Structure 1
């Protein structure tokens, strides 16, 4: 039977990783893979995570299954982290998932179950896995303008015009903060305008928030998600713990569905549990339990927040250093957008040919659409990248 299978497209980032590994140059720079790295190139285990794991090792006396939606305490802790008091907890259904990717996939399954004809509006560009999953599930995808290639900021007028074509029963997929892959974000007034469009069209927002704490800070990065969830009748939220807790391989995420009617929560909660059962039964618990321990222990939470803030400021410092280096070399402020973007990524705004030139001639590895991982830099490699960008004629 398997002779009918077709070769699937290779993952571009995984292919880029292999090319980087095979490159013998000592001064090569990896800006492709989307994980945080410290100044030594390591993705460290956070102090609070180590402390929580040690405590868990000492106290855990069973590895029995949790519920289909995971430990309710995890849902409570994450709902508080992401939503604060924007939506009453009794109006929030929540289910643990294998990472933020699992939350996004379950959200798409939920949309398909609730509205088989739903269209999902997706920013152009967006995280490639959004598009891949929607295509695999056969859900119609509608792109909306987002990134302005000239200013390297948000094409807000185009965004609003495109979102106005949505209708009730459609879903608008939004990035809660630190837009991937561009790093360009909406400001507070622009979020207000998006909410007005959502309310006028009746479309349902879905928010993918994978980088809370990497942009302006924990509370600031949650502000848009909270504002949207508080304003609309229903909202879908996919949250990841991979980046801000540094637990990538533990696959820890949460899918939430909010409603203004508390009575709808039981139906929503039961549906999320059902979807988990169909896909993987019980969600993984180790990472979720660590997150719960950290968020509910004052000392662990304080240490985690302090280290997370160090991570955020480190990336911000690299952004400012790179923008300054480029300004010094070019005599122009045309790269100032790099200091304005937030999160791990920025989109340089150049052609695939130029990206290939950076790789071949300078050992600079980034995704073909010119998305680069700022966290892949350090103080020593920033000047190397700046010289390569100017040397390539970008």
Structure 2
């Protein structure tokens, strides 16, 4: 039977990681994988996470199953982190998930249960796994214009024009902040216009919030999501704790469903718990317990927010340093967009051939579409990258 399986196309980012590891050059630079790294090249365990784990080890008395939708304290703490204190409690269904990817998968399955003829709109470009999941599920996928390759900003007019084609029963997948792979984000006025358009078309937004706290701060990064949630009767939100808590391997996420009324909330809650049961049964708890411990303890939360702010501002400093270095070497401000982008990523605008040259001749690894991970840099490698960008002619 298994011999009938067909070879699967390798994930390009995972393949790039393997190629980087096999490169013997000591001066190589990994700007491909989407993981935060500090100035030493490590992905550290955050102080508050370490303290929370120590407390859990002291106080935990059992490893029995958690609740099918996840622990209520985790779900409430995450809902408040994402939506603020004005929770639509009587209209809100929540389930813990296996990372943000698991939340996306359950959210798409939920929408498909409600509408077997589901269509999903994704930005052009978007995180490749969005499209991979949708293709695997056989869901019709449509794209809306998003990134302007010339300005390196948002093609908002094109986005709005394309999304006018959405209809009731469609999902519109939006990046809550720190757009992956481009780093170009909507401003609050544009979020307001998107909310109005979605209300007009009747389509349901699915917001992927993977980087809250990495862009402009915890509340600022959630502002667009909160605006959408306050304006529309039905919203899905898939959130991840991998980046802002640094617990990538704990696979900690959550799916929120804001429903038109309490009766629909009850239906959604039951369906989401059912999907958890069919997919992985009970959700993992260790990462969720870390997050709950931090968010519900004032001292740990202050320490976590302080360190998260250090991470965020450190990435902004690297962006500004890179722009300065490129300005000095190019004699122009054509790379100024890098300082305007937010989060870990920016799309540089290099051709595939130029990306290959950076890898082959300089040991600098970018994703093929020229997405670079700003957090993979440090103050010593920024000048190296800047010079390579100029040498290659980007």
Range class of TM-score, shorter chain: over 0.9
1:241 offset after TM fit, Å?
A: 0.2
SS of the residue corresponding to residue 263 of structure 1 reads: helix
Asked whether the equivalents of residues 323 and 335 of structure 1 are also in contact (C-alpha less than 8 Å), the reply is yes
TM alignment of 1:120-135, pairs within 5 A: 120-135=120-135
Normalized against structure 1, the TM-score is what? 0.99
Which SS does the other structure have where 1:387 is aligned? helix
Separation of aligned partners in 2, 1:336 and 1:113: 45
Residue in 1 that maps onto 2:315: 315
Alignment of 1:156-167 (within 5 A): 156-167=156-167
How far off is 1:89 after superposition?
2.1
User: Where has structure 1 moved over 3 Å in runs of 4 or more?
Assistant: none
CA distance in 1 between counterparts of 2:267 and 2:86 reads: 21
Q: Counterpart in 2 of 1:81?
A: 81
The aligned counterpart of 1:345 is 345
1:227 aligns with 2:227: yes
Provide the rounded CA distance (Å) in 2 between the counterparts of 1:229 and 1:307: 28
String of CA shifts for 1:276-302, please: whole Å, max 9, x gaps.
000010000000011001000000000
> Are residues 1:48 and 2:54 paired?
no
Distance across 2 between alignment mates of 1:308 and 1:67? 29
Partner Cα separation in structure 1 for residue 176 and residue 90 of structure 2: 22
Residue equivalent to 1:356: 356
Separation (CA, whole Å) in 1 of partners of 2:169 and 2:86: 24
Matches within 5 A, 1:15-164: 15-164=15-164
C-alpha distance in structure 1 between counterparts of 2:276 and 2:260, whole Å? 24
Aligned mates of 2:25, 2:332 — CA distance in 1: 30
Cα deviation, residue 88, structure 1: 1.6
Q: Is the 8 A contact 1:152 1:184 kept in 2?
A: yes
Q: Is the 8 A contact 1:86 1:230 kept in 2?
A: no
Describe the superposition over 1:100-153 as per-residue Cα deviations: whole angstroms up to 9, x where unpaired. 010011111111111111110000000111000000000000010000000000
- Shift of residue 83 of structure 1? 0.5
Post-superposition Cα deviations, 1:205-237, rounded to whole Å, max 9, x if no partner, equal: 000000000000001001000000110010000
CA contact 2:90–2:261 (8 Å) conserved in 1: no
**Aligned counterpart, 1:169:** 169
1:296 alignment counterpart: 296
Shift of 1:262: 2.4
Distance in 2 between residues matched to 1:23 and 1:348, nearest whole Å: 23
Contact kept in structure 2, 1:91 and 1:262, CA below 8 Å: yes
Paired residue for 1:250? 250
Residue of structure 2 equivalent to 1:327 = 327
Q: Distance between the aligned counterparts of 2:69 and 2:81, measured in 1? A: 18
The answer for the alignment partner of 1:3 in structure 2 is: 3
Give the drift of 1:85: 3.3
* SS of structure 2 residue aligned to 1:237: strand
Contact 2:96–2:252 (8 Å) recurs in 1:
yes
Q: In structure 1, what is the Cα distance between the partners aligned to 2:112 and 2:28? A: 44
The answer to whether structure 1 residue 215 and structure 2 residue 215 are counterparts is yes
For 2:61 and 2:186, locate their aligned partners in 1 and report how far apart those are by CA, in whole Å: 46
Q: Does 1:238 align with 2:238?
A: yes
State how far apart, in whole Å, the 1-side matches of 2:13 and 2:200 are.
Answer: 39
Shift of 1:3: 2.0
Describe the superposition over 1:255-279 as per-residue Cα deviations: whole angstroms up to 9, x where unpaired.
Answer: 0100231232211111110000000
**Cα distance in 2 for residues equivalent to 1:176 and 1:21:** 32
The CA RMSD measured in Å over matched residues stands at 0.8
Unaligned ranges ≥5, structure 1? none
Counterpart contact for 1:87–1:258, Cα < 8 Å: no
Measure, in 2, the Cα distance between the counterparts of 1:219 and 1:33: 26
TM-score between both structures, scaled by the size of structure 2: 0.99
1:176 and 1:49 map into 2 onto residues whose CA distance is 24
For residue 86 of structure 1, report the CA deviation from its aligned partner: 4.4
Q: What secondary structure, in the 3-state scheme, does the structure 2 residue paired with 1:123 have?
A: strand
